[in-house]
Structure 1
Amino acid sequence: MTTGRHILRTLPSLRFVAINQSPSVPLLQLVATLASRGHDVTLLTGTLPNDQAPANVHAVIFGRYDATSLRRRLWSWLAFTGRTAAWLTHLPAEATVLACSNPPLLPHVAVAVASLRRFAVVARILDVYPNILTAAKIPGRRVLWGILATLHRWAYPRCAALFTLGDRMADLLVPYAGGQPIEVFPEWVSADSDLFLTIDKATARQRLGLPSDGTIVLFSGNVGLTHDVHAIAAVAGELSGAAIEFVVSAPRPDSLRLVFADCENVTVIPSVSAEDYPQLLAAADVGLLSLRAGAEAASFPSRTLSYLAAGLPIIAITGQPGDLADLIERHGCGCIVAPNNPAELAATIRTFATDADLSRLCRLNARSAAAGYGADIWLNALADRMESIAWQHVCSRDRRQT
């Protein structure tokens, strides 16, 4: 019997465009996979690792995401979205565009241009706005909520498909989808835990210049609107004098150093290289995640999957229900602490620092959970789905023309 994937691979080359101002490793792997299948693939982005695009992928750089302040964040979003819109006006109708919601209005702009150019748009929704605005307490959020909700209800039903990261996020999107199915394709990670088992913790700490003794609690990755770093500063104050060190690793550490200026037990470092990131994970004892109250169902921190693969027990500052809380409860790989509760958070961190049996159990459960988010499962599944959508779009155009 011939499978759908084998049928698709005998088809003529399809045209794909993927758009994300700050592409994740899974997105780069997706475009590389589509290109390896013989398709014409373009990536519109603001940055590339080592300034190098994946093999056989055309990359167009429009401007780096700037999160140093709210004003600069908005300006970088607007500039990138405007340049993308102009570029899309020249895209042929047979193309299929994967528009990620980074910047947030990127899918909407793609749909608007597609109404003229007739290409297909797939929206990949990475954070659910306008809920994020409420959680971040953005000024004018009530007005913005109404505007964004109206734009969602206009754009999302016009997409060829809607993708998001988790079931709770999908539930939030239902009112805007106009009956359009919402498909869940999470990010993925290498589930090869053997890599981390071969890294010596003491050596990793020495290599990165981290404290050699005590418990290290790691908070890594981009600090966006949904992440509450002030909660980490508060608990660091609660644990001052304990043998517990917080390591915060982020792309732009200068502004974070101001947040933690009074915290002697917090080390802020720039994001490490892809080569050193496994070392950073191996150096830690606990992975910390923080979502603002109200963002629990609207976002899923992608660094969660790296923590799982490394076998790190996870402490998540988050409300419920949400995809992050569901994952931790389902797999027993950590603990959930409600937002704005530094005393409970401090007690939970102390427990992981002193209870070796609990930490060992959570490490095993984390590695087991990571297997369900492996690239071997989700990468080909998403690539297959994109091929199916693109082929249906090309066939429907051919039928209309005849």
Structure 2
Amino acid sequence: MIVMACATFPPEPVVAASLTYDLATELARNYQVRVLTPRPSRPYGFSFSSDTARRDQFEQVILPSYTCPKSCLLGRMWESYSFGRHVSRYIRDNSTSIDVVYICAWPLLAQYMIAKTANRLGLKSVVHVEDIYPESLSNKIPAVGAIVGRLLMPLDAFSLRMATQVVAVSDNMMTRFISTRGISSNKIALVYNWQEEDVFLEYRKELAEHQVEEEPDKVFTFMYLGNIGPVAGVDFVVRTFAEARIPNARLVVAGAGSMREQCRKIADGYGSCIEFWDVPQGKVPETQAQADVMLLPVKCGAGMSSIPSKLLAYLFSRKPVIACVDQDSDTAQTIRKADCGWVLPPENPDELTKLMKTVVGLPQQTMKQYGLNGFMYARKHFSRQRNLNKLVRLIRKNL
């Protein structure tokens, strides 16, 4: 039996949840799969329907662990410990029937506790890391983040060394694990997070069948779609756009998250053309189709370890991207390689204002070419089939 310890899972509308669901579904074609999850809670402020029943080939076990959807350091630490404790107990109670443990859990405590339990019981484990901790803490608690990071680094290194296989989601992450955690290059594999491109292709086909001529005086739309959290930098975009006062343009902030209300209050203080939209499940392609340019702001240092999942959705929607990110991040490198937009340093209002005013006046053909470039690059590197198959092979290798 394959046991999957998944911190997020459907009906949560976050990419990590859809990835683990895809993996469980694919593995269940040939193996017995049991998925251990907490109660759905992500993103903060999202309303979950009580009717979430599905007919899956795998079994899902919802553990009574503590959840903390709102960004709070102590709450998130307790959430990680609680999930790790419940999963570890489950593994101990069922160890004789388990062949391999797949871990995509909260850092640092849950990941450490589950990997340690599997190791002690002689079970093989595959640790799938979505973000690098404790380095990410320095962006959330700058004053003491570096000190806390140095104290916690051995814990993360130990949990990765206990795993049979480590999966990294970006080139920078893989390089860092090898250089700072002492992980052998033979033990770590690179598997990019993926998007289900078919939903974007199907929506585009429907759109083509009911094509309506674009209005000549259409308002130019800058859009951010994703989790509105503390490291996303949406507050910076809201302020910059409001102060830029670009004629015949609007900013749409779509999604949920702990910073949404704060960003809305900032926008209200300016009285500018800034709109906040909810994104119903399954409506990402439809929502992004209304944008001219997608925005991807990330706080300084926060985007070094992975490629934000929202970027993949932007690319599959064939939209140009303005990214305000670290220049040597995987996100910046992806946009440059794909030639699908522009890369600016984080939180530089003058440069972003200048670029937004320039982009509004670019020819439609130029914008469409950027969008097509991104789409072709995403199909080659971030497709579901390519990366899901690679991850499945890694797990099978450890059975």
Q: Kindly indicate whether residue 180 of structure 2 is the aligned counterpart of residue 187 of structure 1.
A: no
Change (3 A) 1:72 1:232: farther
Aligned partner of 1:329 in structure 2 is 336
Alignment match, 2:387: 378
- 1:387 corresponds to which residue? 396
- Equivalent position of 1:5 in the other structure: none
- Are residue 266 (structure 1) and residue 274 (structure 2) matched? yes
1:39 is displaced (CA, Å) by 2.6
Report if aligned partners of 2:116, 2:162 keep a CA contact under 8 Å in 1. Answer: no
Instruction: Please list, as runs of the form range in 1=range in 2, the aligned pairs for 1:88-103 lying within 5 A after superposition.
Output: 88-92=91-95, 94-103=98-107
Aligned with residue 34 of structure 1, among 15, 27, 31 = 27
2:306 & 2:266 partners in 1: Cα distance?
A: 23
Structure 1 stretch 43-52 or stretch 244-253: which is displaced more?
Answer: 43-52
Q: Is the 8 A contact 1:172 1:297 kept in 2?
A: no
Cα distance, 1:73 vs. partner? 3.9
Instruction: Indicate the residue corresponding to 1:155 in structure 2.
Output: 159
How far the C-alpha of 1:224 sits from its partner, in A, is 4.0
Give the drift of 1:38. 3.3
Instruction: Determine whether 1:197 maps to 2:198.
Output: no
- Aligned Cα root-mean-square deviation (Å): 2.7
Inter-partner Cα distance in structure 1 for 2:211 and 2:17 = 24
Distance 1:299 1:259 in 2: 28
Q: Point out where structure 1 has 5 or more consecutive residues left out of the alignment.
A: 1-13, 206-211, 392-402
Which residue in 2 is equivalent to 1:286?
293
| Deviation, structure 1 residue 103 | 4.1
Contact 1:168 1:321 (C-alpha < 8 Å) held by counterparts: no
Contact 2:222–2:249 (8 Å) recurs in 1:
yes
Secondary structure of the residue aligned to 1:129 is coil
- What amino acid sits opposite 1:129 in the alignment? Y
The whole-number CA distance in structure 2 between the counterparts of 1:354 and 1:216 is 12
**2:368 maps to what in 1?**
360
Report how far residue 124 of structure 1 moved: 0.9
State the TM-score, normalizing by the size of structure 1: 0.83
Q: CA deviation at 1:246?
A: 1.6
Structure 2 counterpart of 1:325, one-letter code:
A
1:122 to 2:126 alignment: yes
The answer to whether the 8 A contact 2:101-2:125 is kept is: yes
| TM-score, normalised with respect to structure 2 | 0.83
Q: Do the aligned residues in 1 keep the contact of 2:197 with 2:383 (CA within 8 Å)?
A: yes
204 and 88 in structure 1: CA distance in 2 versus 1, 3 angstrom threshold: farther
- Cα contact 2:194–2:383 (8 A) shared by 1: yes
Q: Which runs of 5+ in 2 are unaligned?
A: 10-15, 42-47
Q: Structure 2 counterpart of 1:226, which letter?
A: V
Counterpart of 1:394 in structure 2 is: none
Distance 1:104 1:236, change over 3 A: farther
SS in 2 for 1:315: strand
- Matched to 1:257, the amino acid is R
Q: Of 105, 109, 116, which residue of structure 2 is paired with 1:105?
A: 109
Q: Is the 8 A contact 2:2 2:32 kept in 1?
A: yes
Residue in 2 aligned with 1:10?
A: none
1:222 matches 2:227: yes
Structure 2: how far apart are the matches of 1:160 and 1:173?
15
Cα distance in 1, alignment partners of residues 26 and 334 from structure 2: 28
Worse-superposed segment, 294-303 or 155-164: 294-303
Distance 2:129 2:221 in 1: 33
SS at match of 1:130: coil
Count of residue pairs the alignment pairs up: 369
